[in-house]
Every structure is written in structure tokens, then in C-alpha cells.
Structure 1
Amino acid sequence: MATTRLIPTHIIKNQSIAYTVHARIDYAINPNKTLGGELVTAFGCDPTTAANEMLLTKRAYADFTGKEISQSDVLLYQIRQSFKPGEVTPEQAHQIGYELAMSWTKGKHQFVVATHIDHAHIHTHIIFNSTRMDGQYKYRNFLGSSFALRRASDRLCLENGLSVIENPKSGNTHYGKWLGDQKKLSFQDKLRLAIDAALAEKPKDYDAFLKLMREAGYEYKPGKQPAFRGPGQKKFTRLRSLKDGYSKGDILSIIVGEKELSPARKNAKKIQTQRINLLVDIQAKLAEGKGAGYARWAQSFNLKQMAQTLNFLTERKLLDYGTLCKKTDEVTARYHELSDQIKAVETRMAEITELRKHIINYAKTREVYVAYRKAGYSKKFLAEHEADILLHKAAKKAFDDMGIKKLPTVKSLQDEYASLLSEKKKLYPEYSGTRQEMRDLQMAKANVARLLGYDEKEPEKEKEAQRKEQR
């Protein structure tokens, strides 16, 4: 789940254009907020020189149109994309932010993507130049842009297995506080969502529906007034208290096809799904000083986790430990294969981005560099055009480092980038699902090994001993 805002940036009062652009970008790429700069990516520019490169594009626009920047002009646009706490990793948030920026700007504007992790909610700042890279046009905001941006963000969230907000609030509430408000769901709200998610799986009968509810962490109490109790609840919640559409009769009607589940309810996410967790080593915790109360909690926790593990293994027909180990190895191998493919695609996409940036800079500054050469490499000329000359030299050096003798066209690079992005989007759903399956299998395997008294580290010790003998 992600909230989005599109914010135009004007010239800061009593400050220059250059100061404004530098200040906004410097705030976004702050190393203290972006894991030492690891969560910063740029397109059409380099993060460290993005402000200067965007200013150069603006100057090209002024030269082309003859229009100088006024106080009312928008210098930059900022997209804030903020994610639900605990639902996304910084790396995934950053990747989604980059794809949103590329989708929104269509690769025609320089932009910087910086993901901040200094708050509970991971959020990404996307800053893009209002002036197009060709220096001839500017981005114009339009009626309904906020809706279009949210729709683009929601599409990416769904592609990456994240939830979306069905009925977003409007207004200027701070995005961090807004997200915090979303967590305040009652037990009844959570139960409704769990029921909707279970029905969206199209269970064949009521028993299959109850199995899905158990997998989501709910305990069922039959009787005249059926009820469920979810994680953290002391009392059961009766179905009749959920109002229209959630009685046992309504649920049965939907299961047998007499009633249709509404589109909004079909899209419900399993927010209460319980993933398998590793068993607690109670003796080790007691040795660390934990008390009897902790031991009672840990025993209850372990029983629930083993029940969850058994459900998981029964559903997948992995009750034989050898079969479980083989399946875990197969899924892990597939995960690494997909990971390597995606990394290779991302590496090439980064190379294209870098090359495209240098080609554009080279073309923009070529005339200045030719004039500089004709001026006999004059120090005075260099002082007047230092930014352009440095960019030109940097581009030439990059071409030499890459071993490029004939420059490809920007269009061919854009086509290749679009093809790679499409390939990545096709790979990512399987990658995401395989990653979660691998984690669940590894957790289940570790739990079974502990229950049966197997030492999971023993095979590794044997392999290490064999390697030492071979030496």
C-alpha cells in the first residue's frame, strides 16, 4: 500500500533558482536518510551533479524559447510515495519508486529517486525536472493528475504483491500521519477483510473456507451464532456483529454461487495472514534470564507455529522430511536463478541510463567544447563555461571507459530500456512469490528439524570437513 502526492516546487523566497534546485535535491539524497546513498538512483543525470545538469537543461530551454524563468514558474516536481510500515523492504520501495518515475515522466525528464528509511514508514522522494531533456518543452500539471498518479502507483503495488487503498482520503494531511491512521482497524474490520480474502480464493465448500480462515490465523467457534477469534483477541467476534453480507448464510451463498462477491471485496488482501515463524528456543531464552511468564508464552507460541507449519506442509504434501528438503533446495535454486536474471537486467538498465546521460550531455556541450578548443583551451573561456566543459570531458571519458567507438542513438537505448523493463516486470511476480515460498519452506524445514532433533548445521559441518580433507 502506498500513498502518493505530486508537489510543484517554485523558487524559494529570497533565494536563487540554483539554490532552490540544489536545496531540494540535497535534501532528497541525504546519505543519513538513504542508507549512505545506496537508495539513490537517477535518470538522465548523475545524483551527485543532478542539480547542475537540470539547471543546464533549463538554460537550454531558455535559449530555445527565449523565455526566462519567472518567480511563478515551477522548477521541479516532487512525487512522494509512502508505504505501509512493515509491508515493503527499502530496496523494493526504491525499485517501485524508480518504475513510477519512469512511467510518469515517460523517460523525457531528468529525475532523482531517493528512498528514505529514517521513519517507521519507508517513503520515496521522486524529484523530476519540469523542463524536458530536449530543452524544448516543459511538463504541465493537469486536472486529475493526483488520481492518475495514484492509479499508476496502485498498479505497481499490485504487480509487486502489495495492498492498495480502496477508498483513499483526500486533503493535505501529512503522509506519515495519514499512513499511521490506516493501521487503526478494529477487530471487526480485520475479520471482514480476512473473510473477503478467503472468499476471493473461491473455496469449494464451507470447510475449505474455514481452512483458509485458520491459515489466516483465525480460530472458529461453531454453533447457532458462529464466531471467529483472530490474533490478539481475547473474545470471539460473532458473524452477526459484522452486519450485512457477513452472516453464515451470506458466506454460504457466495461459496455456492448464489451471490456474487462485490469487486471491492474481491480485492481484499489477507492482512492477517500468519506466516510461519521459527520456533523459540525456550531453554536458551531462560538461560538468558527470561522468566516463567516468558516460558509460558513461548510454549503457546511454539504450539501455534507448529500447527501453522503442519497446515503448510499438509497443504503442499510435504510431510516427508526428505521430500521437504528436496523441495526447499529446488525452490531456493529457482529463487537464485530468478534473482540473477533480474540483477543482470538491472545492471544493463543502469548501464543504459548512464550511457544515455553521457550521450545527451555530450550532444548538449559539443559546440561549447569545439569553441573552447578553437580558443586554444583558454583559461578565461574555461572559467566562463566550466560546467559545460567538465560535462563534455566526463562524457568522453565514459565512452572511452566503456570501449564505445560508435555512439548508439538515444532512441535505440530507450527501446532497449523499455524491453528490459518489460522483461523485469514479467520476472518480478514469480521472483516475489518464489522468495516468499523459499522463506516459508526454510522456516518449516527448520521447525521440523528442531522438533525431530536434527542439527540443521550438521550437513554444512560435514561439507566443510570434506573441503579441509581435500586441501
Structure 2
Amino acid sequence: MAITKIHPIKTAPGRSIKYITNPAKTEEGILVSAYACSVETAAFDFDSTFRKATQHESANKAFHLIQSFAPGEVTPGQAHDIGIELADQILQNRFSYVIATHTDKGHVHNHIVFCSVDNFTHKKYLDNKESYKKIRTVNDRICEAHGLSTIKNPDRAKETWKEHNEAGRGTSWKQQMRIDINEAIRTSLTYTQFLSKVHEMGYETKGEYDLKYIAFRKDGMERWVRGSERSLGKDFTRERIQKRIAEQIELKAQKRTDRIKKTIEEPAQFIDTSQERFADKPGLKRWADKQNLKSEFQSYRILQEHGYASLDDLAADVKRIHKDKVTLQEDIAALEHEIKELSQTIKYLNQYYDNKPYHDKLRRNKNKRLIQTKYDTELTLYTGARNMLQRLGINPQYTNLNELDTQLQNMHNQRDSMLQQYHQAGDKEVTLQKLQKMATEHLQDIAVQKEEKRML
């Protein structure tokens, strides 16, 4: 299980990067990585990109994302890989970042400091509730893929480890309050009845109708606890409690309707026509034979309606779709890797071209010390970009940046199309598996009924 939190950096990010890359916390720097920048020049690189921002209403120069794991759940290496995966999926290979995994506390945790400005569009990272919700969703999906536990209730994502562990053991007073309120909602038909049940449980309430928030206090507690999204969670506001009671009544009514409907549409039971009562009633026997025929072929009719001649055809299609889905997943992963590499190349080329004039000025000017002092940041960025391009085997003089930008956009479009195909294949696989299960169970029920009748 991993818990995430994020906060903006409004000053130069150099101090934050220096803190997270501390060798004493990162196994002597082994658990440090960077994307679209080098660890040594990241602060300069972030600042250079920030100055190109097309939006100036936000002063956030970078963001600091922390991903904490439960004690003993992952190794430092695994945590580092998971952190890189999280950063890549959230930032979509568009923002430079430095990631460091700390092992100096009781639990392994990742620090990700990323530039607030997109390397390509120069637009700023949008930090709001929706973007944080996406971080939590992606984080949970990655944890599940790696076999780690996740927080099932998103409203508990802001809890400390102490609160979360207490809730798991059932010793958290706040969690107990949620349980009591849920029980009162479950057994109430009206909001007034809910308040009465809460009072019977030993709670005081205020703001039931007139204040902004309803508040609860258990006998013996000094402080009131607001029924707000921040305190108890979004399901415990006054408006949400009232809505949950109404939804509960509707759900019970719907369940009653579904039970009646199921009874009406229940497939006919197999009728044993060898019974004595059918011997001298040919009309009744014809009717029973017809009903048995309807029951036995109901599953095949359902299959035919979906374009399948038999259960074997359906099973083969389910297997084919699953295989296509796995292939798509592998192709998407390979394409993501190519996008990441190309994005990094474009980033360094832009950094190289932007700062090359300062290198040329240094080379032409006799007073090199003056130029080095005046343009220290720009010259550092130029040298870093040139060295990285040399490592990648790229000569800027023979590289067309516009062609690379077009290639990258085409790769993004291809990835989006493949992701859409992947999700469509997944939806179809689930639908066909449900159909397969329903048809199989129906035929098995008929076989059991026949055998039971035969044994009588």
C-alpha cells in the first residue's frame, strides 16, 4: 500500500532537490534517478523551463510529490521502480523530474520533485482536486499491478500511518464514529429517525438543520467533529447523509422490483413427462415437451443472438480477445518507452539550442571569466545538454527538431488510439465472460434437473 501527498514549491527548487538526493538517505545516491534533466543541473534546468512559461498566474516553480509505503511491504529497489512508474504515468513524459527513494525512516518512501512547466507546450501543471484524484487513482492501479494493498476508501487517503493502522485494528475513535453513523443511516427511513438513532448511540449533535455543517460528539469527548469532507469524509456531510437515506429507500424498492421480475422471467424448470399424469393427456405432454425445448435451447438462443453457434465458439472468442489485449498491453509498454526516450532527446536538444549562443559568446570573447560569471546558469545547461546528447549518440547539427516534434506527436496519437483499443477489448472480454458464465450455468442447471427427475 502506498499513500501519496503533494505540495507546491514556490521558491527555487534547488534546496528541495538537495534534500531528497541526500546520499545518507538514498543508499549513497544509488536510489536517485532523473528524467529530462540531470540530477546535478536539475535546479538550473527547472528554472530555465519555468522562465518560458506561457501562464504567469501561478508562482509554483515545482511540485514535491511523496509516495509512502507500508513498513516491510516493498524493497527500496521495488519502491524506486514503482515511483518512476508513477511519475511517468502522471507526467506523461512532458515534465522534468528527479526521484529519490529514502530508506532512513521506518518505512520506505519516494520523493519526486518535478518542474511545474511542460517542456514542450510551456504550460503549467494544473494542481487541483481532480489532478490529485488522478494521482491517487494511478497510484492505486500501479500498487495493485505490483500485488500491493490499496486504501479502499479514498476519503482515508489523507490519514497518517497511525490513524490508518488504528482504523485497521478498529481502535480509531474517528473510524468508530463513521461506523456508528453508517449503521444509523442503514437502519433509518428518514433524517429525523437517523438523528434519533445517533442520539441513542450516545452522540450529541448540533447543526442538524441550520449551521453549515452538522457536528457530532460522543459522550466523554471534549471536541465536536464536523460532518465535513475534510474531517469525516464526503459521505458524512448533512446533505450527503440525507441523500444516502433517500437512495437507500430507492434501492430497497428496486430490489423488491428485481425479485418480482426475476420470478416472472425465471427459466422454466425441466418437466418430467414420464409421470403418470401425462400418460392419458397428450395435449399436456405436447405443452410440457415444448416448455422443455424452450428451456433447453434458451442458452443457445442467447448465444445466437450474440453471433455464436455454440459455447465452444464463445470460449474461443474470449481466448482470442484476451490474447489481443495482452499483445496490445505489451505494444503500449514498448511505445511508452520510445516516447520517453524521444521526449528526453527533444528536451535536451531544446536546452542545447537555447543556451548555445552563450557558449558561442564565451568562445569569441577574450574576457572568458566575465562571461562565465555572467552566464553561469546558461553555460551549465548547455554543457549538461551537450554531454547528454553525446551519450545518446545524437549530433545536433544533423538533427531536425521539427521532424522529431512531429514524430513525437504521432507517437502520442498512436498510443492514445492503442489505449482506446485496449479498453474496448477489456470491456468486450468482461461482457463475453459474463455471457459465457450465464449460458454455462443455465445448461448445467438443466442437466442437474434432468438427472434428479431420472433418479426419482
Structure number with larger C-alpha Rg: 2
Normalising to structure 1: TM-score of the pair? 0.46
Structure-2-length-normalised TM-score: 0.47
